[in-house]
Structure 1
Amino acid sequence: MSKPLNIMYASAGGGWIHRASAEMFKLGHQAHLYSPAKNSTALPEANFHRSWSFNLACQPFYRIAGGRYAEAGYHLMFPVWKAWFKRQPHPKCDVIHAVMGSATEPFDVAEKIGALKVLDASNSHPTSFYGFWQRELDIWNPSARVSVPRRVFKRANQEIQRADVVLCASAYVRDSMLYNGIPESKLAVNPFGVDLKVFAPREHPPEKPRFLFVGGLTLRKGLQYLIPAFEQLKKQKPDAELILCGPLNHADFAELYSRWRPIFTHIRSHTHKELAELMRTCTAFVFPSIEEGFARVIPEAMAGGLPIIATHNSGATTVIENGRQGIIVPAWSPSAVHDAMLQMIERPDLCDAMGKAAAARMAQDGSWECYAGRLLETYDAHLSKRR
């Protein structure tokens, strides 16, 4: 690359965009960030644009009923974000990189100034996202509907069509894009990084079997298949424990949560440091998601030395070779999840070896610095086509 790039990052949510902008700034590129969150980067204040109006508009919804209405409030207040972004100064940029759902207004700017339009797809194609989630609702909670408004999926579909590059967080996201007719030539895969200073490998697997899930408690994450699998395991291994770590902020899982509550331990919130410490006490990380992009907790668990039990739909196959760093299970299969957990208990040597292989994989190319390097290569490859 002949000269430093001028890059605009924009997201009404996605915290990884903060890390991407910070890493690019460290590499000597001029990064500008538009976000409602506080400045957690090394960017100068002149390069950081915070949407206080959107942040404050959403706050009441985050505080009501333990955050159960947070997502609804986010979508209800989203016009505040759009209006705020349009009023901001927009420097001339080589690249405008925006998260799917937040990209329409940034892409308007990009098309005026001729910048490369990069869409950060942290979830699967909108058609797959909606379809898989609604399927689970039809089966497990028939009166419910996907909590994300249809207009959001319409907006995301339009952003995909406008993008020059669709940055896929995982191989699963890429596959969903291809299935829905998006040309392979505009797709690039770049899994999220992990802070290796926070997430360090455990010394050895615990004596008591403990399985960990981290994420929002919702049908989309596959808990309706994980908990019955663990219930069966518990009959064989009475001392086993399942820990669900995350908020109950989706009404679609509330009834099942009450029914299955005695089966698992629930931790509602945690800091990154607390999560890293918890991981070091667990046997394996289990994530049988039905629809995802790339769960950032997967590389965090790998860096912590945990073997992974996860579906392709979780994004895990981007960084995990089945049988080496963990076990890839089919989606919608409690029996496969059960068998994988049982294997981790009955084969402690295999559990330990997979955990060490997972940590080694993250040490090799899982850092945020490696993420930034791959991202820069993607920018350069597509910018060079324009020269």
Structure 2
Amino acid sequence: MTSNHNPCILTAGMNPWYINHTAREAQKFGCLGGYWMGSACPDGVSRDLYKRIWPYHLAQKAFYHLPFVDFEERMRWHNLPFYDIWMAQQALPEEVNVVQAPMGSCEALFKLALKSKKPILKVFDAPNSHPTSQFGYWQRECDLYAPGYYLPVPQWVRSRINREIEMADVVLCPSFFVRDTMIQNGVPPEKCFVSHFGVNTEIFKKRESLPEKPRFISVGSLTVRKGQQYLFRAFQKVKEVIPEAELICVGGQRPDFVYEIEKWKGTFTHYDGVSHTVLAKMLSDSTAFVLPSLEEGFARVLSEAMAAGLPILASYESGATTVVRDGVEGIIIQPRNIQGMADAMLKMVLQPEENMAMGEAAYLAGAKSNTWADYTKRLLDEYACRLAEM
């Protein structure tokens, strides 16, 4: 492999999402060529490589800390032209041969790459499924459980994301589900590369035993997209068999869940947000982890729960099949199959030996190749191969 094929990545975006982790690890590998972001420079990234996208940051600043999550997201897209204006005035560093950005942030960056006199690998980083699939799954659930609610991502943004996917050389997919939705919507399979997100597994310690009282935990925003409307109905069936069973949900509430949460108040314990240290303790004190998402990129908490030695009860749409084998590290559930989900939860209580065996398998799978360094190394190896073919 020649030096021309060694990746030198410039990552950019309106918001960091998770790419601050990618940038930090890429710098450790000596492969970071730039980090352009609307937010502050993260620890571990050299300020020499960092540029702040000031027009976008100043336009969006008033909305960062508002308690209205939905409004912040709508304004994120409303202010996107400020990001584009700034990006159009930049020039890529000479050494950069890979540009990478999350959906919605790619188009202006890819246009810079196309101006270059040398081949530059353009990577579309997909935190969610294809926009056509994402909108369809999410809006359907809103129509059923939040009538009148419309998604905060406007049509012109979905059109932009479609153009970004078309422009990209690589569509980076965090799960098999995301890859499959890309292919179903016409993206060539060879354009897709699957690598699930990393996690700091050192924080999470392996569960040693089952809790005395059956306790299920689900982590993620309360939203119809993540399927808690079906989880609560399934847990109701579990309580009919095991009245002492508990359900803990960790995550903020989105506006599309306002009707559902009123129906189920008092049937579960809700924490708006907790530290990773507290979450680690919650996981280790649980019977199983449950996530019936109907649309997701890859729920990073899957790896966290596996690192804690919990069996995983999660849907294909959550990204779980990327790291969980049905019947080995957990059970792959159908998110809208309420009885099937209840049966899986009951099995985790009524068959403790199988629960512990699945938890052990989950721990062994979750404790390896799951750090952000592992994730970034997979990307660098793939990019090197793709650069050699350009």
Q: Match for residue 266 of structure 1?
A: 270
Deviation at 1:62, TM superposition (A): 4.2
Asked if residue 111 in structure 1 is aligned to residue 111 in structure 2, the reply is: no
Residue identity (%): 41
Q: Report Cα offsets for 1:121-177 as digits up to 9, x if no partner.
A: 111111100111111122222222222111111111010000001011100011101
* Counterpart AA for 1:335: Q
Give ranges in structure 1 of 5+ residues lacking alignment.
none
Is the Cα–Cα contact under 8 Å of residues 292 and 314 in structure 1 kept in the other structure?
yes
Match of 2:200 among 180, 195, 219: 195
Tell me if 1:79 matches 2:81: yes
Check conservation: 2:235, 2:247, Cα contact below 8 A: yes
Give CA deviations for 1:47-87 in whole Å, capped at 9, x if unaligned.
Answer: 12233553454344344345453222322233333333334
1:135 paired with 2:137, answer no
For residues 50 and 68 of structure 1, what CA distance do their matches in structure 2 show?
Answer: 24
Q: Which ranges of 4 or more aligned residues in structure 1 deviate by more than 6 Å?
A: none
Match of 1:367 in 2: 371
Instruction: Assess if the C-alpha contact under 8 Å between 1:86 and 1:105 holds in 2.
Output: yes
Is 1:322 matched with 2:326? Answer: yes
- CA displacement 1:325-364 (0-9 Å, x = unmatched): 1100113111111111111111121111111211111222
For 1:52 and 1:235, the matched residues in 2 are separated by: 55
Q: Distance in 1 between matches of 2:58 and 2:354?
A: 49
| Structure 2 residue 150 is matched with structure 1 residue 145 | yes
> What is the CA–CA distance in structure 1 between the aligned matches of 2:109 and 2:266, rounded to whole Å?
47
Distance in 2 separating the partners of 1:221 and 1:335: 17
Partners of 1:205 and 1:368 in 2: how far apart?
29
Report the counterpart of residue 291 of structure 1 in structure 2. Answer: 295
Do residues 159 (structure 1) and 164 (structure 2) align? yes
Alpha-carbon deviations, 1:354-377, whole Å to 9, x = none? Answer: 112111112222122221221112
SS of the residue corresponding to residue 66 of structure 2 reads helix
- 2:236 equivalent among 231, 235, 256: 231
Matched residue, 1:352: 356
Distance 2:91 2:371 in 1: 32
Equivalent of 1:69 in 64, 68, 71: 71
How big is each residue's C-alpha offset from its partner over 1:1-54, in whole Å with a ceiling of 9 and x where there is no partner?
Answer: 433432101122343211111111111223311222333342210112233553
The alignment's TM-score, normalised by the length of structure 2, stands at 0.94
Q: Is the partner of 2:202 in helix, strand or coil?
A: coil
Q: 1:34 maps to which residue?
A: 36
Q: 1:318 to 1:79 in 2, by over 3 A?
A: same
Alignment of 1:5 with 2:7, yes or no, is: yes
For the 8 Å contact 1:194–1:303, the answer to whether it is kept is no
**Which SS does the other structure have where 1:263 is aligned?**
coil
Counterpart CA distance in 2 for 1:43 and 1:65 is 29
Q: Quick check: 1:62–1:69 contact (8 Å CA) kept in 2?
A: no
Of 164, 180, 183, the residue aligned with 1:178 is 183
Paired position in structure 2 for 1:240: 245
Could you say if the C-alpha distance between residues 59 and 213 of structure 1 is closer, same or farther in structure 2, counting changes exceeding 3 Å?
farther
User: Does 2:269 correspond to 1:277?
Assistant: no
Match of 1:99 among 91, 95, 102: 102
Distance 1:55 1:230 in 2: 42
Per-residue CA deviations over 1:218-275 (Å, capped at 9, x if unaligned) read: 1111111111101111121111111111111x22110111111111111001222222
TM-aligned CA distance change 1:111 to 1:89, over 3 Å: closer
Q: Report if aligned partners of 1:61, 1:67 keep a CA contact under 8 Å in 2.
A: no
What is the number of residues matched between the two proteins?
Answer: 385
Corresponding residue to 2:345 among 341, 353, 359: 341
3-state SS of 2:201 partner: coil
Instruction: Give the CA deviation at 1:279.
Output: 1.3
CA distance in 2, matches of 1:247, 1:52: 28
Change in 2 beyond 3 A, CA 1:110/1:200: farther
Moved more, 173-182 or 234-243: 234-243
CA RMSD, Structure 1 to Structure 2 (Å): 1.7
Indicate the SS of the match to 2:33.
strand
Counterpart pick for 1:309 among 307, 313, 324: 313
**8 Å Cα contact 2:195-2:375 kept in structure 1:** yes
Cα deviation code 1:181-227 (max 9, x no counterpart): 11111111000111122223222221211111111111111111111
- For 1:112, the aligned partner's letter is K
Q: Distance in 1 between matches of 2:318 and 2:60?
A: 28
Distance in 2, Cα, partners of 1:98 & 1:337: 36
1:93-141 deviations in whole A, cap 9, x for unaligned?
1100111111011101111113110111111111100111111122222
The answer on whether the counterparts of 1:19 and 1:41 sit within 8 Å (CA) in structure 2 is no
